[in-house]
């Protein structure tokens, strides 16, 4: 449990701090990400007018940097993709059987048959068909179902219909698992915001009561927090168990699969597909850079760790990544993410019509970019935590801030602001050779960088599930051509939502939890 001096781990926003001085400090840290992003964009605009030569050279250098970064990340993407394909072919149950006595087992439990999986599935107002498909995937797992404790975490605010769906699922699937538990998260609890984090914390505490009653050691339980549309692949739990057992320090580790948004990918419009598959590619890249990775969406960790930390955060929107930053602070920097190189399947954004899908995609990207709220949280925690190594504070703090700065600014710098010196530089600058060649140089560099989209298109075809009979073969062509939308999508559904989130945080216009509607 948290100690009194670890109060900073429970902070949602500046107002949660009773001390005025600390509150002002936290507000400064909340302002910083948006301030830096807007300062960058405004500086480029003003300097394009006052110092066009400087900006022209900056743009060329920045575009070259982006080209090199694209090449660098493409190698990571290729490596992760190959490992994922290889892992999908592995019989992980057989590997578990062969594991005992090999010397590969780490500091945790020594026998895989001692491991239980606690699966928490927060649900709000999703349709019963969607929930059923998730449970069908769980029940089809090639893993002993008598080792699964499944919690369907409902919300009181969902009304009677939510409980009716839960009862239907219990009737169909309740007897298939070791234990099946339905929890009802009360609405309007003081100090919480309505969202996934508060619901899964309520469910986790109820599950703890069951675990204590069953007298299962926490060290032998892996807890997985899944979005309700998450469908596990057959060997997911066996793969997770293997990584848990062979991890040198499983109690201070999170285990991250690769989210693949292909449950309904054939039905989703192009802009939704591009962003969904783009998210898959990004998280694949991060698997090869675990030191830069934080937990995202559906992930797993030791039940011992989650109990020690007093469960998930209840006062913020981005609970999936917040739990990693909370763990990093709680364990004084002794915490890591372990990439599984193994997929889970989720839904791409899809509504009843194209325009509503577009709106929902924008809202979802804005909510994801609200993860910027963890920048001030971690920075403040570093100031309060004296035990974490200084180099770890700097490393994680800088990379975290830089990631959100890049999210908000890079696409705009690349695709929009490169022409500013020509437009604003005045007659003297426009007479120079640099002015004449700037558009050609930037276009050529960006064309080279866009070649990476060919690889993305090829990977897309390999990730796709079987084509539904209702679609013609020519739909494969659109799956390739959709990547020409990348310049638009990275600005409209990338930089702009990120800027909105950072600006809202800067202006104290805090975001609530928006549940992405699920439609199939």
pLDDT tens digits along 298-318: 999 999 999 999 999 999 999
Cβ-based burial of 315 (10 A; exposed 0-12, middle 13-18, buried ≥19): middle
User: What pLDDT sits at residue 441?
Assistant: 81
User: What pLDDT sits at residue 32?
Assistant: 98
d(CA 276, CA 270): 10
Both tokens assigned to 11: 């902070």
Give residues with Cβ within 8 angstroms of 380, minimum separation 6.
8, 11, 22, 25, 26, 29
User: What pLDDT sits at residue 263?
Assistant: 94
Residue that is written with structure tokens 């990547």 in the block: 483
Q: Are the beta carbons of 328 and 213 closer than 8 angstroms? A: no
User: What pLDDT sits at residue 103?
Assistant: 67
Average pLDDT over every residue of 97-111: 78
Edge-to-edge order in the sheet of strand 148-155: 179-185, 148-155, 116-122, 221-225, 299-302, 253-260, 336-345, 231-232
Whether residue 333 has pLDDT greater than 80: yes
Average pLDDT over every residue of 6-21: 94
Q: Cα(first)–Cα(last) distance of the chain, in Å?
A: 41
Weakest-pLDDT range from 108-112, 137-141, 192-196, 243-247: 108-112
Which pLDDT band, with edges at 50, 70 and 90, does 116 fall under?
Answer: very high
Whether residue 235 has pLDDT greater than 80: yes
d(CA 83, CA 508): 43
Average pLDDT, the chain: 92
Weakest-pLDDT range from 43-57, 111-125, 240-254, 491-505: 43-57
Q: Which of these, 112, 117, 125, lies nearest to 155 by C-alpha position?
A: 125
Q: Are the beta carbons of 94 and 233 closer than 8 angstroms? A: no
CB neighbours of residue 462 within 10 Å: 8
Average pLDDT over every residue of 198-217: 97
User: What pLDDT sits at residue 31?
Assistant: 98
pLDDT tens digits along 24-50: 999 999 999 999 999 999 999 999 888
d(CA 20, CA 22): 5
d(CA 336, CA 248): 11
User: What pLDDT sits at residue 479?
Assistant: 83
d(CA 317, CA 511): 7
User: What pLDDT sits at residue 312?
Assistant: 95
Give me the percent of the chain exceeding a pLDDT of 70: 99
Both tokens assigned to 248: 């040198």
Average pLDDT over every residue of 445-452: 74
Can you give the pTM of this predicted structure?
0.93
Weakest-pLDDT range from 53-67, 85-99, 333-347, 410-424: 410-424
Q: Are the beta carbons of 196 and 285 closer than 8 angstroms? A: no
DSSP letter, residue 146: G
Give residues with Cβ within 8 angstroms of 169, minimum separation 6.
128, 131, 132, 135, 152
Whether residue 349 has pLDDT greater than 90: yes
Which pLDDT band, with edges at 50, 70 and 90, does 477 fall under?
Answer: confident
Strand pairing category for 116-122 and 221-225: parallel
Average pLDDT over every residue of 4-19: 93
> CA quadruple 439, 442, 447, 453: dihedral positive or negative?
negative
Which pLDDT band, with edges at 50, 70 and 90, does 94 fall under?
Answer: very high
Q: What are phi and psi of 255, to 5 degrees?
A: -120, 120
Write out 324-392 in H/E/C secondary structure: HHHHHHHCCCCCEEEEEEEEEECCCCCCCCHHHHHHHHHHHHHHHHHHHHHHHHHHHHHHHCCCCCHHH
Q: Which of these, 334, 348, 302, 307, lies nearest to 516 by C-alpha position?
A: 348
pLDDT tens digits along 496-517: 999 999 999 999 999 988 888 8
d(CA 172, CA 176): 9
**DSSP conformation letters of 197-235:** HHHHHHHHHHHHHHHHHHT--GGGEEEEE--TT-EE-TT
Question: Can you tell me whether residue 311 is helix, strand or coil?
Answer: coil
CB neighbours of residue 390 within 10 Å: 10
Whether residue 157 has pLDDT greater than 70: yes
Whether residue 412 has pLDDT greater than 80: yes
Weakest-pLDDT range from 220-234, 240-254, 423-437: 423-437
User: Which comes out higher in pLDDT, residue 444 or 411?
Assistant: 411
Whether residue 440 has pLDDT greater than 90: no
* CA distance readout (Å), 111 to 219, 240, 245, 252: 12, 14, 8, 19
Size (the chain), residues: 520
User: What pLDDT sits at residue 238?
Assistant: 97
Angle between helices 390-415 and 52-88 (to 10 degrees): 110
Of 101-110, 252-261, 425-434, which has the strongest mean pLDDT?
A: 252-261
User: What pLDDT sits at residue 388?
Assistant: 97
Whether residue 104 has pLDDT greater than 90: no
């Amino acid at each position: 449990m948290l100690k009194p001096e670890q109060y900073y781990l429970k902070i949602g926003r500046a107002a949660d701090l009773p001390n005025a001085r600390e509150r002002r400090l936290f507000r400064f840290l909340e302002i910083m990400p948006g301030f830096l992003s807007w300062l960058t964009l405004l500086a480029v605009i003003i300097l394009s007018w006052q110092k066009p030569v400087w900006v022209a050279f900056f743009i060329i250098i920045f575009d070259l940097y982006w080209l090199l970064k694209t090449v660098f990340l493409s190698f990571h993407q290729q490596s992760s993709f190959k490992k994922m394909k290889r892992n999908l072919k592995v019989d992980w149950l057989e590997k578990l059987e062969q594991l005992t006595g090999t010397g590969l087992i780490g500091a945790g439990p020594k026998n895989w048959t001692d491991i239980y999986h606690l699966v928490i599935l927060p649900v709000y107002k999703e349709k019963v068909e969607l929930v059923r498909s998730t449970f069908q995937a769980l029940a089809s797992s090639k893993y002993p179902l008598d080792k699964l404790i499944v919690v369907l975490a409902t919300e009181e605010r969902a009304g009677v219909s939510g409980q009716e769906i839960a009862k239907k699922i219990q009737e169909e699937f309740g007897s298939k698992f070791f234990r099946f538990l339905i929890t009802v998260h009360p609405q309007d609890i003081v100090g919480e915001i309505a969202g996934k984090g508060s619901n899964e914390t309520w469910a986790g505490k109820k599950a703890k009561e069951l675990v204590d009653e069953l007298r299962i050691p926490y060290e032998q339980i892996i807890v997985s927090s899944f979005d309700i549309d998450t469908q596990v692949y057959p060997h997911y739990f066996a793969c997770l168990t293997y990584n848990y057992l062979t991890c040198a320090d499983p109690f201070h580790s999170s285990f991250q699969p690769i989210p693949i948004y292909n449950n309904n990918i054939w039905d989703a419009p192009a802009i939704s597909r591009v962003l969904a598959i783009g998210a898959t590619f990004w998280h694949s890249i991060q698997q090869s850079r675990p030191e830069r990775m934080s937990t995202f969406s559906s992930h797993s960790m030791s039940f011992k760790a989650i109990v020690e930390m007093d469960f998930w955060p209840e006062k913020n929107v981005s609970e999936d990544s917040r739990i990693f930053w909370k763990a990093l602070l709680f364990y004084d920097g002794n915490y890591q993410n372990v990439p599984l190189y193994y997929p889970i399947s989720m839904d791409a954004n899809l509504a009843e019509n194209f325009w509503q899908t577009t709106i929902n995609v924008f809202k979802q990207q804005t909510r994801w970019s609200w993860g910027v709220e963890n920048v001030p949280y971690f920075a403040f925690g570093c100031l309060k935590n004296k035990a974490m190594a200084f180099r770890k504070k700097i490393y994680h703090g800088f990379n975290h801030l830089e990631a959100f700065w890049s999210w908000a600014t890079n696409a705009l710098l690349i695709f929009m602001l490169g022409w500013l010196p020509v437009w604003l530089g005045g007659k003297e600058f426009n007479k120079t050779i640099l002015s004449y060649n700037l558009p050609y140089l930037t276009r050529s560099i960006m064309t080279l960088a866009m070649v990476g989209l060919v690889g993305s298109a090829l990977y897309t075809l390999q990730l796709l599930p079987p084509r539904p009979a209702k679609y013609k073969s020519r739909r494969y062509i659109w799956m390739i051509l959709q990547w020409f939308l990348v310049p638009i999508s990275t600005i409209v559904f990338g930089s702009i939502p990120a800027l909105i989130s950072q600006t809202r945080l800067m202006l104290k216009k805090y975001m609530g939890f928006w549940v992405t509607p699920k439609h199939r």
